[in-house]
Amino acid sequence: MMEEGSGGGRSNYNRMNDAKNERRVGLIYDQRMCKHRTPYGDDHPEKPDRITVIWNKLELAGIPQRCVILNAKEAKDEYICAVHSKNHVNLIRNISSKEYSKRNRIASKLNSIYLNEGSSESAYLAAGSVIEVAEKVAKGELNSAFAIVRPPGHHAEYDEAMGFCLFNNIAIAASFLLDQRPELGINKILIVDWDVHHGNGTQKTFWSDPRVLFFSVHRHEFGRFYPANFDGFYTMVGEGPGAGYNINVPWENGRCGDADYLAVWDHVLVPVAKEFNPDIILVSAGFDAAFGDPLGGCRLTPHGYSVLLKKLMDFAQGRIVLALEGGYNLDSLANSALACMEVLLEDKPISELSEAYPFESTWRVIQAVRQMLSAYWPTLADKLPTKLTDQKAPPHILLSSSESDDEDDDASKIISKDLVQAVEDVVEPILNLKIEDYHDEVNSALWRSKLSKTDIWYAGFGSNMWKSRFLCYIEGGQVIGMKKLCSGSVDRNPPKETRWKTFPHRLFFGRDFTQTWGPGGVAFLDPRSNSEDKAYMCLYKITLEQFNDVLLQENVPDHDMNSPLFDLNALDSILNEGSIPVEAVKRGWYHNVVYLGMEDDIPILTMTCPLSAMESFKSGEIPLCAPSKDYADTLVRGLVEGKQLSEEEATTYIQVASTKPL
């Protein structure tokens, strides 16, 4: 027996060494990295549970007992400064000792970042842990390793934290091996980033460095998917001596699964890796391309990840380091991580997918990538045979609206049955998916088709009074002052009509920090009417389907939408009840849907806090807080551009709403 150490309050594990052929696989997990969390305990996709569910899953499978358990160590500033500016390193080192209001102010200026009293330690441990395992694999003390770390890293750039990432863990480890430990003989590193988002920070770090071959496959959608720019397009190949050493495979759409990723491995990554012949492979192992991930929208299975990893083990004598990046569906995250650990331990033979075909768009992207890179990698010069690229999955099954306005339940059942049969006969063997998983998509398509036929007026009383801001919920994106992007609705058609009305309800401002706007209060509406109150509202005529997507984005963006949050039955009920709290998103601040009347025989709906929250606002349990200037300016723009008030009148309206007692 051989003990290598433990960390973070875990039980110690010993690794059996009596099996000569068993690989020495390292594992790092430290509960101290759970200290990085949202400052007010709000739910967030990048949460401490992400690493604990992985560790618990591995423990249940008996994995740690078979691994070398390593202690997490904080990275030294000198190693981090090889990738980040001194200003950035100083900021992250000291951020947790600052007053919470100053931390929140700093976070509000960054893109998709939160900070708390545990952020500094977690960031240093994450970077140090990846360095630790990378060095031991490079030395030959370990065959491979997995660093279960957070916060993730691949979005973090030279002078900026972004996209949940504080330090670029994988880039720091690669730089450490190349520049700090030349005696290890690591001269060429392959970085594979299979996170669903582009590894913009890693790309920029090694943009001109031929010692690092950076490969990223990610959802891109022509710059519409986060980080929402063209850095991840296939034309971005590096420059100077690093030209050709930066490979991007940008998906044109979501839903890409095992067959799509396998095709990219076989026809882009594997041929180039053979030519490059790396000394070690570092994997930015994000699992947000997994089936069911709320942010990714792709369909990789645990088995798919195991096949991809197994193919990488043919290079660098199997010297591979996995560092956790994204992954926000806790079940698929844990299952995918376990599948990868079983590959590193060489538990069992991995069978490839034999009957699955990629999407047509996947072949299009692969051929574009090969053509772009063929000048640098001759192995990609040959055109793929038509016989191969003709093997593609059928187009997505789309549900068209019925000609009749009176779809009854029986008709829906027939449609569902037909679609399920289509899944069984065609889609399942081609995409290698489970029938029960596809049922969710069928259900989603059915309710969306049905609710798309019903119009409602959505009444915006806060920042959504500015049409440009509201369109972020429909089309995706962000406006000035916003700190993060909106995902948008599935149906991105703009509102059919816009009107203004006033209602006898009280506008006020509460809470003191949001991820979207940073410090300051945001608008709420008292759900009870009062003839002495007057609230301006902008009415948008949208479909009930779109209203569901807006309701989701206003509350709990990571909730799955296999069924609607607010259906036709709820619409009928609210006409009598006046308001309905939506239980599925009750963690959100705006989960109470309120009925405000009719306009042209179409119901007017808004969303605000429940009555119970009103009492908490009054008692001070939930703070009342004036809005920030950026947020207030958004309301002013809406009122002025909507020709309801002058700029002076609008400013006064907001000031009164933020100072008048409840």
- Residues forming the active site: 155
In sequence order, what are the beta bridge partners of 597? 604
Closest by alpha carbon to 568, among 605, 597, 599, 600? 605
Angle at CA 373, nearest 5°, toward 367 and 378?
100
Tell me the two tokens of residue 116. 């708390």
Are the CB atoms for 375 and 244 separated by under 8 Å? yes
Tell me the two tokens of residue 437. 């998983």
Whole-angstrom Cα distance, residue 216 to residue 261? 11
DSSP letters spanning 465-516 = GSHHHHHHHHH-B--TT-SS-B---SS-PPPSEEEEEEESEEEEEE-SEETT
- Break the chain down into helix, strand, coil percent, rounded to 5: 40, 20, 40
Whole-angstrom Cα distance, residue 53 to residue 334? 6
Are the CB atoms for 393 and 364 separated by under 8 Å? no
282 DSSP assignment? E
Whole-angstrom Cα distance, residue 567 to residue 412? 15
Cis check for the bond before 227: say yes or no (omega within 30 of 0): yes
Tell me the two tokens of residue 462. 């806060």
Report helix, strand or coil for 357.
Answer: coil
Q: Residue 136, exposed/middle/buried by CB under 10 A (0-12, 13-18, 19+)? A: buried
Angle at CA 55, nearest 5°, toward 52 and 57?
105
Whole-angstrom Cα distance, residue 521 to residue 272? 52
Are the CB atoms for 148 and 27 separated by under 8 Å? yes
Beta strands in 545-631 (DSSP E): 579-581, 592-599, 602-608
Distances (CA, A) of 11 to 8, 30, 56, 64: 9, 11, 12, 10
Residue corresponding to tokens 């008030």: 645
Angle at CA 608, nearest 5°, toward 602 and 611?
115
Tell me the two tokens of residue 501. 């009305």
